[in-house]
C-alpha cells in the first residue's frame, strides 16, 4: 500500500461525534477537529485520497463537502439528523456503521485501503467496518477515559464504564495505535495493556502558513484594539473545568493583589465557548471573575477562525494553559509558532508541546499562586519572555503538519504490513474489574528532545535558539 502506486491510497477517516467543519473551541469541537482537518489536507498533499465520515446534524450541509483537493467530508445519517448529546451517541453507532457500509458499497466498487478512526466512539465503528472490508484499522484516541477520570475537576462527571470498555476493545483489535506523545503511549500500555509493538508516536503538527510571528505584537494589538502597554495573559480553549480557566482567573486575582500597578494594565482574553460540564453552569466562570475582583480585566470572546486566532496569539504576552488533562495541546504549539511563550500545567502531552524554561514554563499542579508567580516573572522580565518567544518559533518550525502526515503514512504502511502477515488481533481481554478510574502517575519531563520509544515514529528534535522576531 503506497501513495506512489498507480491507484492512490484511499483512507476512510472516522469522526463520529464531531465534524471537522465545526468551529474549534465550541461544543465538542477542539484540537481533534484541527488535527483531522490538517492531517487530512496534508495526507492529500502527499497523494492520498481522504474521505472524512461524520454524522449528519441537520446543519443544511450537503452530503459531501470538499475540504481541500483530495479531501471530502461526508455526512452520514445515524440517529436523528440533529445535534445529540455525547452521552447518547453510543446508541447511534450501529446506524453509523450501516450507513458507512452502504455508502462505500455505492461508490462504484472502489474500496478503502484503510480506516483511521478518531476517539473511542469512532473506534467502535472502525472495528465493525474493517472486519467487513478486510482492511486494517488505525486508531488515534485523542483522549483516554482512564486518564481523564484520574484528573477530574470539581463538578466534573467521570467517564462512564461503557467508554472504558470501548477503549479496551479498540486497543485489543486495531492494527496500529497512534499516540500523540510518548506519555500517551505509556498510558496505553499501563492502563489498557496495549502491546508496545503496535504503538506509534506521531506528534501533531502546526499550520505554519497561518501561525507565524507576522508583523509582531504591536501590529496585532492594533488589529484587535488592545492597549500597547497592557500585560496580556491569554486563554484559548473550550470553557470547561478540565481546561482550568478557573485556575487562570484565580491566578490573575493573586497577581493583582501582589502587584496592583501591574493589575491596572491587565487584559485577560478568554477565547472559546462553553463545553462539557461547563454547559451545566454557564455563569460560573463569570461569577468567579466578579467574586475575585477581576471582572474588569477578563474579556470573554467567542471562538474565532484560525486567521483571527493567530492575531490573538501574537498580541498576547503569554498563553496560559492550566489544563487538568491534555493529550497534547495544539494551541500551545500554535502560540509558540506565533512567537508567544506558554505557561502550562505539567500534565499529559504539554511537556512535549512546551519546552520547559526554553519556550515556556511548566507548573506542577493547579495552585493559582504558582501560576501567578510565573506570570509575575514574565511580566517583570520581558526580555526573558521575548527570548522564549523566539525559541518557540524555532521549536514549532520543526513540527509542520506535512511532517506529521509523512510519518502517519509510514504508520499506514506498518498497518498494511501487519494485516498482510495475517495478524488477527490480540486475544480479547476482559476489561479489568474493580475501580475504573485508576490513579495515573505524574507525567515525565520530556523537555522536547528527540528520543526513541519502541516502534515509534518520532519528530526531529529542534535545535532551539534565539532567532529574531518582530515585536
DSSP class per residue in 192-203: H---GGGEEE--
Residue 139 assigned to a binding site: no
Task: Report in angstroms the alpha-carbon separations of 437 from 121, 146, 148, 364, 365.
Answer: 19, 5, 8, 21, 19
Phi/psi at 320 (5° precision) = -110, 125
Inter-residue contact 343 to 371 (CB < 8 Å): yes
User: Is 340 labelled as part of a ligand binding site?
Assistant: yes
CB neighbourhood size of 66 (10 A): 10
334 is in an annotated binding site: yes
User: Where do the H-state alpha helices sit in 306-400?
Assistant: 306-315, 330-337, 350-353, 368-380, 382-397
What is residue 420's predicted lDDT score, i.e. its pLDDT? 58
203 marked among binding-site residues: no
> Per the annotation, does 86 bind a ligand?
yes
Q: What is the pLDDT of residue 463?
A: 34
Query: Is residue 17 a known part of a binding site?
Result: yes
Is 30 annotated in a binding site? The answer is yes
Statement: 217-397 belongs to CATH 3.90.1300.10: no
Could you tell me which of 206, 204, 287, 293 has the C-alpha nearest to residue 245? 287
Task: Calculate the CA 225 to chain-centre distance.
Answer: 29
Residues 6+ apart with CB under 8 A from 390: 339, 465, 466, 467, 468, 469
Distance (Å, whole) CA 101 – CA 12: 11
pTM of the model: 0.84
Q: Which of 344, 106, 378, 434 is closest to 266 using CA atoms? A: 378
Cβ neighbours of 295 (radius 10 Å): 13
Those residues whose C-beta lies under 8 Å from the C-beta of residue 273, and which sit 6 or more positions away, are 25, 26, 27, 238, 239, 302, 303
CA-to-CA separations, 414 to 1, 455, 457, in angstroms, rounded = 10, 10, 11
Hey, which CATH number is domain 10-205+401-420, 3.30.930.10, 3.60.20.10, 3.40.50.2000, 3.20.20.80?
3.40.50.2000
- The secondary element (H helix, E strand) that includes residue 177 is strand 176-179
| pLDDT tens for the chain, residues 1 to 471 | 444 445 789 999 999 988 887 765 555 556 788 899 999 999 999 999 999 999 998 777 888 999 999 999 999 999 888 888 888 899 999 999 999 999 999 887 668 999 999 999 999 999 999 999 999 999 999 999 999 999 887 777 899 999 999 999 999 999 999 999 999 999 999 999 999 999 999 999 999 999 999 999 999 999 999 999 999 999 999 888 889 999 999 999 999 999 999 999 999 999 998 755 444 446 889 999 999 999 999 999 998 999 999 999 999 999 999 999 898 989 999 999 999 999 999 999 999 999 999 999 999 999 999 999 999 999 999 999 999 999 999 999 999 999 999 999 999 999 988 665 543 333 333 333 333 222 222 332 333 333 333 333 332 333 333 333 333
Residue 15, pLDDT score: 95
Check whether 59 is labelled as a binding-site residue: no
381 is in an annotated binding site: no
Distance CA 235, CA 243 (A): 10
Q: Check whether 148 is labelled as a binding-site residue.
A: no
Range(s) within the chain of domains with CATH label 3.40.50.2000: 10-205+401-420, 217-397
For residue 431, what is its C-alpha cell? 476489561
Determine whether the annotation assigns residue 31 to a binding site.
yes
Q: What would the grid cell of residue 112 be?
A: 478503502
Distances (CA, A) of 377 to 220, 231, 262, 365: 23, 12, 12, 18
Could you tell me if 123 and 174 are in contact, meaning their C-beta atoms sit under 8 angstroms apart? Answer: yes
* Residues 411/178, Cβ–Cβ less than 8 Å: yes
d(CA 56, CA 85): 14
**Predicted pLDDT of residue 27:** 53
In 3-state terms, what secondary structure has residue 365? coil
Is 447 annotated to bind a ligand? Reply is no
Phi (first) and psi of residue 86, to 5 degrees? -55, -30
Amino acid at each position: 500500500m503506497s501513495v506512489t502506486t498507480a491507484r492512490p491510497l484511499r483512507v476512510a477517516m472516522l469522526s463520529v461525534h464531531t465534524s471537522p467543519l465545526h468551529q474549534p473551541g465550541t461544543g465538542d469541537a477542539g484540537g481533534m477537529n484541527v488535527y483531522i482537518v490538517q492531517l487530512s489536507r496534508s495526507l492529500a498533499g502527499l497523494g492520498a485520497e481522504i474521505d472524512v465520515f461524520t454524522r449528519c446534524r441537520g446543519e443544511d450541509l450537503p452530503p459531501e463537502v470538499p475540504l481541500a483537493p483530495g479531501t471530502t467530508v461526508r455526512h452520514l445519517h445515524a440517529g436523528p439528523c440533529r445535534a445529540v448529546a455525547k452521552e447518547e451517541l453510543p446508541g447511534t453507532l450501529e446506524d453509523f456503521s450501516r450507513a458507512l457500509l452502504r455508502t462505500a458499497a455505492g461508490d462504484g466498487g472502489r474500496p478503502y485501503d484503510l480506516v483511521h478512526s478518531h476517539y473511542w466512539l469512532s473506534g467502535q465503528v472502525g472495528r465493525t467496518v474493517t472486519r467487513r472490508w478486510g482492511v486494517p484499522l488505525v486508531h488515534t484516541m485523542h483522549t483516554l477515559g482512564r486518564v481523564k477520570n484520574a484528573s477530574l475537576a470539581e463538578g466534573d462527571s467521570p467517564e462512564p464504564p461503557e467508554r472504558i470498555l470501548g477503549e479496551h476493545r479498540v486497543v485489543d483489535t486495531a492494527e496500529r495505535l497512534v499516540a500523540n506523545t510518548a506519555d500517551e503511549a505509556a498510558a496505553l500500555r499501563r492502563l489498557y495493556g496495549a502491546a508496545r509493538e503496535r504503538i506509534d508516536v506521531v506528534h501533531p503538527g502546526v499550520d505554519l502558513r497561518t501561525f507565524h510571528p507576522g508583523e509582531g505584537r504591536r501590529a496585532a494589538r492594533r488589529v484587535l484594539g488592545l492597549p500597547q502597554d497592557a500585560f496580556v495573559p491569554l486563554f484559548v480553549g473550550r470553557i470547561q473545568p478540565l481546561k482550568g480557566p478557573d485556575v487562570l482567573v484565580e491566578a490573575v486575582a493573586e497577581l493583582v493583589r501582589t502587584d496592583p500597578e501591574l493589575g491596572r494594565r491587565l487584559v485577560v482574553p478568554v477565547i472559546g465557548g462553553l463545553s462539557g460540564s461547563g454547559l451545566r453552569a454557564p455563569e460560573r466562570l463569570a461569577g468567579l471573575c466578579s467574586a475575585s475582583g477581576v471582572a474588569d480585566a477578563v474579556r470573554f470572546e467567542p471562538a474565532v477562525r484560525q486567521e483571527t486566532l493567530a492575531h490573538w496569539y501574537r498580541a498576547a504576552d503569554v498563553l496560559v494553559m492550566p489544563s487538568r488533562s491534555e493529550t497534547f495541546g495544539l494551541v500551545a504549539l500554535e502560540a509558540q509558532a506565533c512567537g508567544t511563550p506558554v505557561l502550562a500545567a505539567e500534565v499529559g502531552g504539554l511537556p512535549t508541546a512546551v519546552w520547559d524554561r526554553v519556550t515556556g514554563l511548566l507548573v506542577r499542579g493547579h495552585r493559582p499562586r504558582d501560576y501567578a508567580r510565573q506570570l509575575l516573572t514574565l511580566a517583570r522580565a520581558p526580555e526573558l519572555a521575548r527570548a522564549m518567544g523566539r525559541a518557540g518559533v524555532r521549536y514549532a518550525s520543526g513540527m509542520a503538519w506535512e511532517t506529521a502526515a509523512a510519518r502517519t503514512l509510514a504508520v499506514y504502511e506498518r498497518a498494511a504490513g501487519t494485516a498482510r502477515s495475517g495478524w488477527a488481533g490480540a486475544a480479547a481481554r476482559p476489561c479489568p474489574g474493580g475501580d475504573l478510574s485508576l490513579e495515573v502517575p505524574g507525567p515525565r519531563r520530556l523537555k522536547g528532545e528527540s528520543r526513541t520509544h519502541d516502534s515509534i515514529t518520532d519528530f526531529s528534535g529542534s535545535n532551539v535558539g534565539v532567532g529574531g522576531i518582530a515585536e
